[in-house]
A and B are shown apart, each in its own frame.
Chain A
Amino acid sequence: MRRPLARTLTAFAAAALLLPLAGCGSGEPAGLVIYSGRNENLVKPLVEKLEKHLGTNVEVRYGDSAELSAQLLEEGDKTEAGLFLSQDAGALGALSKEQRLAPLPRTTLDKVAPAHRGSAGDWTGVSGRVRVLGYAPAQVPAPPNSVHELVKPEWKGRIGFAPTNASFQAFVTGMRVLEGDDATRTWLKGLKANEPKAYDNNLKVLDAVDKGEVAIGLLNHYYWYEQVAEKGADKVKAKIHYLPEGDPGGLVNVAGVGILKGADEKQAGYAQQAVDYLLSAEAQKYFAEETKEYPLVAGVKTAEGVPPLETLQPPKIDLGRLDSLKQTLTMLQDVGLV
């Protein structure tokens, strides 16, 4: 019995080694390669529209924004990618800092408010998301109107947050810009003293609120709309609350896009057209309707049920000033939240 097993194994090994090689190099070469930190389920239909618009094949590598940015940094100018579509501003900022992004033309940049694009002019936001409080109505009849309430003792052990998530850190950076380092550090210490529960990402925070594991959670608005779409409105117990009066907890964050240096001229051309497409009415409408985000180009409406940006009172912060992420992280580490 041993002999046949060894022989089967060898044959199996040989076949297994050769099989995948046969499948290589299929299809036409792509005109544009995109590294996308945004989920395939969210952007695939948009990519198909983009392909039609450009008239060329578009290949997309999906991954985690931070991991893809690390990969792009390792690849350097040998990258095949022409475009980086990021879930958050931080990953684009990291590439911008290492001078891996090509400058965008003024006409492109001017479509988006300066607050929603990179200060070096090498990346731009394409869709916005608002930080909100998720809450369990059964435990919280009236949600607080400011994150400053959350350091009160009544919230001890009842808060969920995602400290390693980029959008939470952008919020803390925003608070530092608005209220100064000392006030922010005091708030963070108060939060820590309330023993908040740390989750991996916004979705898990929302899930925890929904299950009543925590009473209140800090998250982005669109996760709630996604859950309602997935499970049905009656099955989602959590509710969300938009913070008024410029509270730092109501920061508007963006998902953005940048063109990579090192792409050949042809791909760079497609990449430029792709950026303009993502800022076109068609693509902006897609973000509004499909991912329930905020369009960043004037004249496109938000989805039904999502309050328009004009009716909200987000803090007035220039996203270009959110690049002091390092100090934020140091502060979070000092306080012991990450």
Chain B
Amino acid sequence: MSAHRAPRRFRPRLLAAAITAVIGLALVVVATVPANATSTVDRSTVLDVPAPGHSVQWTLTSLATSNPRTVVLTVPGALGAALDGANGMRFTLTTEQGKVVANGLSAEELRNTPINLGSVPAKTDLHVFAHAELPVEADNGFRTASATMVFRFSSESTLPGGLLAHTGLDVFGALALAVALIVVALVLLLWSRRRRRGTVIVPLLGAACALVLVGISATSWAIFTDRAGLDVTAQGQFGIGLRDSSNVVRQATDKTVSYTFEDAGSLVPGNTAVITLAVFNDSVAVQGRIGLRLTGAGSLAPSLRYSVAVDKSGTRSTLLGNPDSPGEGVAIPVAGQPIDLGVVDPAGVRLKDGDAWPVSADSSLRTLTVYVHLPDDAGFRASSSGSATVTLDLNGSTL
């Protein structure tokens, strides 16, 4: 008898209920918890706000998935002064096939325009070439403007049955397991109900619930999308700054950095004052042309003779007069003498007032040496004093 009682300990209904519960919970989890997109990652791209009339390009990439998919590009976030107004940045997006999917749109227009990029085969990266331009009408207010944009690829599987888009979760295995367990549960229930058909309703309801959950899960899978956020930060990037003799950056926090020198009280006839000023292109990536306007004022100004030399990465060249013999310098007009320092490379990093000078930025530096000579004219013997104010106005502009 005991050998016949052993199979009765087998509780098919209990087992079926347990299997149903496990399936249900698993499906609920699968249906309600979005998985992380591991095949694509959020990335940040830092761009430089281009100069008016100029543009920057970069590439947006939706990495390949194991399934074919449809992809929609949206811009859920766009913020920053560089995007504002009628003259803010304009964006043009082009597919690999050369199809222009956005043509000169503002950030606000991009936000309101989901771009359907169509179907993408399995295991294929999708590239979108982005082109951002600052209209030529943009004024100097955009010089230090910045912006951050989020570009998002949303992809969805195109396989029949609502298979999940690739999210990094192996949903095929989960789905197969769920179906197998449901079949087993139904078989067990039917086998056990041969003897007590009156109670068949409860386990059948359990199985029905499981099927409903499967249905819910199957329909909810359709909302699973693969989202890759691409943060694009555009930073204001043009300015010029000064480096002092202690190799410390002097950069104005508001508009124009102003620099003064001590009065040595030594500008007497026959003497030469030497003024050294190091200016740099305080930009991350934009070349600039730097100019100097040299002016003199005061009782001695008409007599002064000027010479200017510039040092570029250890190479010295003459810009005005004769630095090696300042007495042979030249007089300058009352309105000032413009001097071109040429095109200057960017520092490569954004430097702030008080920063220690990075050696990596040396190519952006131009060290000016201005020689101011007061000739030893006999006419000065009638005077016991005199003075002059020499002003160096530096201006930089994007190309």
Decide whether A and B are members of one complex: no
A→B interface (CB under 8 Å): none
